[in-house]
Chain A
């Protein structure tokens, strides 16, 4: 039995502020890696900002914004191998882009078109989990299942601070600890669950403290610091691969955008705090870090941003070019072996549609 580690009290940080706080570095990351991280951050940021616009233009449906969550997603995903599995919540809807998923697929998901429902095995990215925390046991089960087969695959589940109040989180974390599942429970603590602030969510001093109860190490990291997130996740992955079991990572940030396009946070959020967060948003922080380190030039930055914009324009065009889905697809794949009544229902629908 390994000793239960106390949760880390201090936030891990690597990126400085260019003034009093010195920049650190992560051992083993090459300039190419750093530029790769930057590329991924810009891609997700561009995806998110364009999606809000597409929503306003009526081109996608209600959309869950992840502005300023990019460092948590990019830093953690960068610590994984392609064979490792990602279990996203709706806040990580576009994380598949980091695994080569086409932009049009994710946009189609938000457009409610069947082509947006991908095959998880194509990317080792599970379906987007909409109910809160219920995918945590899935990630645990998958990681446990591969461990039983002696296949080296780690799973990561992403969820928010509110999710740690859910029974599914508790049961998933319990199983993870008991089964020593090679899984990372990654909490993006943006301190708000729609309008419910963290202090109304839990009386725990930190969310990482909760990990202790499951016999799991709890790590706290600055969620706006892509390098700190990467480093913490890399350590968790190493633990998982070496058979030491799960890790809980609490990445701390502050939600600087609405919960979703259907939300107006002006009635509940701390506007001043949001402004501070916007000033210090995660993509700009890393950009300045790379500039200070001489890894990124303005020219390269502009190229990366322009390329991301082009990917999005092509992606929305592709999604919009998709022909309307056949309504008969409502019956598609509900069962491998459907009940006979489905054939009758389909025939009725075809008649009603005049087909």
Chain B
């Protein structure tokens, strides 16, 4: 984007960019319908849907009963009637009742109709910890979704990407889950192009260029990795790769970065076992083994229930843990 254009772009917080995307997409396509708990009158517990009901009416910004499986299940039927529902799950850990619908129907229905019917729905949910919230407001459940065939998954880390990925998700013919990093909802601030703005699914972003090691991250782990990279300035040149879309994974950009640096530290907030970093590590083992000059290391949440908020920082990946991993991979 030319500088003159960028200067026209308003500066927004990440959650405001989400709201902007929903306004633009509902304006653009009258089939787009936003539904979820508290999304209408209240405008969402994080204000992600503020103003939509006033602008588009209660029939297109629907306050639903408190029933996640009902939200996603009726969204399947709404798709069959020609709507493009955007479902909000109020919090990460409250989304699990809808997994039955996601796995058995949302991810299967196109296949089941041999491509004759489309289910272009979107699930948005704030995810992740570090926000000093009560129990079960902190999960990073992306693996369950990525593991589900027929479903795509995107996780933005900047306001511009939040807008662009949500727009792409809404326009995509397949079901897409967008996880929004609530930790940085109102700390991540940046320029967001006005009006139409689409960031294509399946395209990673090099958030910071480097030559010694690639930090692979997504969501709120991207700014954390950038901070770790800055802390290592002068000691190691860290590239930070923001995956942006977990499925489809942009293997090309990932492998190009590893070909350059020869080292990888994978950062995720979710528990370690079978987390998305494990998938990235497997891809590197299969396709980049001869480019690697050291072990692929993971910095992740631990394999424990997400902890009480007074000690949650002990669970979260930190600058220190990332720096330590980078030093280990560089010295190996």
* Residues of chain A having any CB pair with chain B under 8 Å: 85, 114, 117-122, 126-127, 130-131, 134-146, 148-149, 151, 153, 155, 167-168, 170-172, 174-175, 178-179, 332-337, 339-341
Contacts and interface: CB of A to CB of B under 8 A. Distances in A.
B59 A145 contact: no
A340 B101 CA distance: 26
A15 B133 CA distance: 62
Interface residues of B, number: 45
A336 B77 CA distance: 18
Contacts of A334: 110-111, 149-150
Contacts of A131: 100, 104
A138 B74 contact: yes
Given A131-B100, A171-B67, A334-B111, 18 more contacts: A137-B73, A141-B77, A142-B80, A145-B83, A146-B81, A149-B81, A155-B77, A167-B97, A168-B100, A172-B74, A174-B67, A333-B111, A333-B113, A335-B152, A336-B115, A336-B174, A337-B172, A339-B247
A149 B74 contact: no
21 contacts: A119-B113, A121-B117, A126-B80, A138-B74, A138-B76, A138-B105, A140-B77, A141-B74, A143-B77, A144-B77, A145-B81, A153-B81, A171-B70, A171-B73, A333-B110, A333-B114, A335-B110, A335-B174, A336-B173, A337-B172, A341-B248
Contacts of A171: 65, 67, 69-70, 73
A140 B74 contact: yes
Interface of B: 33, 59, 64-65, 67, 69-70, 72-83, 97, 100-101, 104-105, 109-118, 149-150, 152, 172-174, 202, 247-249, 251
A85 B110 CA distance: 18
Contact of B74 (A118, A122, A144): A144
B115 A332 contact: yes
A25 B12 CA distance: 68
Contacts, number: 148
Nearest to A151: B81
A168 B73 contact: yes
Interface centre among B69, B77, B111 (most CB of A within 10 A): B77
A interface majority secondary structure? helix
A335 B118 CA distance: 9
A168 to B, nearest CB: 6
B73 A114 contact: no
Interface centre among A130, A141, A153, A332 (most CB of B within 10 A): A141
A153 B65 CA distance: 23
A175 B101 CA distance: 15
B110 A137 contact: no
A172 B114 contact: no
B224 to A, nearest CB: 27
Contacts of A138: 73-74, 76-77, 80, 105
B63 to A, nearest CB: 10
Contacts of B79: 141
Contacts of B249: 339, 341
B248 A340 contact: yes
Nearest to A338: B248
Contacts of B70: 137, 168, 171-172, 174-175
Contacts of B65: 171, 174-175, 178
Nearest to A335: B174
Nearest to B175: A335
Nearest to A174: B65
B109 A137 contact: no
B46 to A, nearest CB: 24
B48 to A, nearest CB: 22
A225 B59 CA distance: 40
Interface centre among B73, B118, B149 (most CB of A within 10 A): B73
Contacts of A117: 112-114
A332 B111 contact: yes
Contact of A145 (B67, B80, B115): B80
A141 B121 CA distance: 13
Given A137-B73, A143-B77, A120 B113 contact: yes
Given A134-B100, A140-B77, A175-B74, A120 B69 contact: no
Given A127-B109, A335-B174, A337-B172, A137 B101 contact: yes
A108 B248 CA distance: 33
A117 B117 CA distance: 12
A337 B174 contact: yes
A332 B113 CA distance: 10
A84 B113 CA distance: 18
B236 to A, nearest CB: 31
Nearest to A178: B65
Contacts of A143: 77
Contacts of A175: 64-65, 67, 70, 73-74
